[in-house]
Structure 1
């Protein structure tokens, strides 16, 4: 990767990068729309392709496994590429694969194209967040993470509900075509707007691989992987649960998805402020505790579409735990910044695979069971955070804690 921009060494450069960050945020918007629309559209493509909803949830898991595999692979292969071309290439590939998912027939084909679409996800978002964070002073980096994250979160207010409307009105395939087109537009804008920064002559792919053997990195990733499984266990079945149990109005699912997006957006902004004020560990703990409360309410709310919509907002609000974990990885990853940032997305998408799979197995007990499964994941995440805190206290330098 090209060398990062140090906020302390180049304080005036952040404004020069605002348009490039906007182009990156559009790519994040496309990714957020595609990733979460695959959950919101689940009842429609399950029906159209003739598979049970529990089987159709494998589409969500396939995408997540693609992220898990693609994050380290793209970080390793792109270590000596200029960030501009690396980011444009990844988001262009993402766009093409989403369009293929929209036009190719069959459930098996959908599984394969969603798996492949997941592969550029972690590499693009991880490096995009580093790009934004590096333009700010060290103590403000959480804001840089949030700038790109807003593309993901706004996708859940606008993109995902619109994809759901397209899915209901014109067919679920349009829900994948939309982010595909947006991703290709993002690729063009990145090539036009991102600075042409040279390749770091000292960059070595093997330096990136060291993140996979760094206990501080791995324990931080484990907190996200385990703790956030519950977020996806609940969200993946919210649309199906509302349709099956609550008799919502025609616009009820769309409203619920948009409300979830508002929660994610506010959660990211508040999490950045919380991280700056309290530090990464305390912020992550508070957000995981809030996540448990939100998941318990989501289980209680099943059967009442108004309360389910409110629970979607609270679940979205709790997702801000991503921000302190991403910020902490910047502190402990050393020279493996790109790999660690990409692997954070891999960890969250592994949670995106494990959560729906676990909740799918529990569905024969009813839709309330997904909230109970979710609480189990979050409690385990707090336990993992305790292990991480102990390791940080005994093995890390003070500034990394």
Structure 2
């Protein structure tokens, strides 16, 4: 893998930390700005909406720029709004910075995915994708706990300063390391919004994005409510919750690594086997959540499976839309964030309906079941269509010399 891909992963690490770190900072933000906790929680929602809307829009906008120029524009914007967020005392300004940061994050990730896959051989998209997504998983393992620790020691603003600081070496790295063309694929030529949008009509791509939404929805449905499941159902002390969350992050890091190794060579076996194992794992977790040992073990296993399957689906989206590398990355980013939004919402609905803290886990079971069903139906339709095409082809017979 080209070294500059790991430097792009550093930027993704900073952005992932920013996206998830507010979960441990909201009470301090609410107290400092004298707002309600629900208003502070809107900062997280604003970021999620910005990611969903911004991914395709920023990807289209970036088509007019070189990839290095787009990466620098998005990352510098991301850095600057975190500085503004760190110094502002106005809730409205802070809310605006979260939206702008999400737009920049979405645009950066879309262009980074296109840059990474264009800089490697055509059969190595999965490995390139895993390098970038490794930054997100490391954010779950180290970035988010570090942000919470900084917030506890020096206030929530220090976490914003830290994100801006970590982004600086990534900016320098892009200037010095990313090729001027950003690794643009010469076989594809200069991209256009119209041309890339046409390439997105592939049924395979649509199904892949839908599967990514469902799988990621299942992941974040349970992950969002993992803390009360661990404490109230498994009976684990609250002081161990950060360690359990970090264990899930460690599993996700392992899963991205596994996905990167197999997504290019054996994607279908990985998706089928991993999807079935993921379904079984969520069901077993729902049934055995009262056991601390089983819960801790399954947290790691499910983190591994979720991100192995999820990262493979992202790679397959890029394979399915080779004529739209930037927009495919943008729509893949949007699909994952739609899942990250609907999963917790459905999990919350299960809690409201009185299903208890096991309820979100059963919702994860339902979402993975829908994913497996959708994938199975799509595969059957594709095979039937291929068979019909083969049946319509004329049979060509070759007569040997001297034959009647």
The TM-score with structure 2 as length reference comes to 0.81
Please, which of 33, 37, 54 is the counterpart of residue 51 of structure 1? 37
Please tell me whether the aligned partners of residues 208 and 313 of structure 2 are also in contact (alpha carbons under 8 angstroms). yes
Q: Work out whether 1:379 is the aligned partner of 2:369.
A: yes
Residue matched to 2:399: none
| CA distance in 1 between partners of 2:45 and 2:53 (Å) | 12
- 1:168-183 map, 5 Å: 168-183=152-167
Residue matched to 1:31: 15
Residue matched to 1:116: 100
Please, which of 150, 156, 162 is the counterpart of residue 146 of structure 2? 162
Matched residue of 1:367: which SS?
A: coil
| CA distance in 2 between partners of 1:315 and 1:22 (Å) | 26
Name structure 1 gaps, 5 residues minimum: 1-13
1:231 offset after TM fit, Å?
Answer: 0.5
| CA distance in 2 between partners of 1:108 and 1:40 (Å) | 20
Please, which of 268, 275, 278 is the counterpart of residue 256 of structure 2? 268
Please tell me whether the aligned partners of residues 82 and 97 of structure 2 are also in contact (alpha carbons under 8 angstroms). yes
Please, which of 185, 190, 194 is the counterpart of residue 174 of structure 2? 190
Q: Work out whether 1:138 is the aligned partner of 2:122.
A: yes
Count of aligned positions: 377
1:310 offset after TM fit, Å?
Answer: 3.5
Q: Work out whether 1:21 is the aligned partner of 2:10.
A: no
Please tell me whether the aligned partners of residues 321 and 328 of structure 2 are also in contact (alpha carbons under 8 angstroms). yes
Please tell me whether the aligned partners of residues 292 and 375 of structure 1 are also in contact (alpha carbons under 8 angstroms). yes
| CA distance in 1 between partners of 2:357 and 2:37 (Å) | 18
| CA distance in 1 between partners of 2:350 and 2:93 (Å) | 27
Residue matched to 2:393: none
1:90 offset after TM fit, Å?
Answer: 1.0
Distance 1:310 1:94, change over 3 A: farther
1:340 offset after TM fit, Å?
Answer: 0.5
| CA distance in 2 between partners of 1:310 and 1:93 (Å) | 40
Q: Work out whether 1:223 is the aligned partner of 2:211.
A: yes
Residue matched to 2:67: 83
Identify which range, 323-332 or 101-110, moves more after superposition: 101-110
Residue matched to 1:295: 282
Residue matched to 1:314: 301
| CA distance in 1 between partners of 2:87 and 2:324 (Å) | 38
Please tell me whether the aligned partners of residues 126 and 262 of structure 2 are also in contact (alpha carbons under 8 angstroms). no
Distance 1:180 1:236, change over 3 A: farther
Name structure 2 gaps, 5 residues minimum: 388-404
- 1:248-397 map, 5 Å: 248=237, 250=239, 252-279=240-267, 281-300=268-287, 308-317=295-304, 318-364=306-352, 365=354, 366-393=356-383
| CA distance in 2 between partners of 1:335 and 1:211 (Å) | 6
Please tell me whether the aligned partners of residues 46 and 56 of structure 1 are also in contact (alpha carbons under 8 angstroms). yes
Matched residue of 1:203: which SS?
A: coil
Distance 1:261 1:244, change over 3 A: same
Matched residue of 1:228: which SS?
A: helix
The structure number with the bigger radius of gyration is 2
Distance 1:34 1:192, change over 3 A: same
| CA distance in 2 between partners of 1:141 and 1:286 (Å) | 21
Distance 1:68 1:42, change over 3 A: same
Distance 1:359 1:97, change over 3 A: farther
The TM-score with structure 1 as length reference comes to 0.82
1:111 offset after TM fit, Å?
Answer: 4.8
| CA distance in 1 between partners of 2:251 and 2:123 (Å) | 25
> Which string of whole-angstrom CA distances, capped at 9 and with x for unpartnered residues, describes residues 352-393 of structure 1?
111111212222333222212221111111122224323543
> Which string of whole-angstrom CA distances, capped at 9 and with x for unpartnered residues, describes residues 262-315 of structure 1?
111110111223323423x33223222232233334445656666554443223
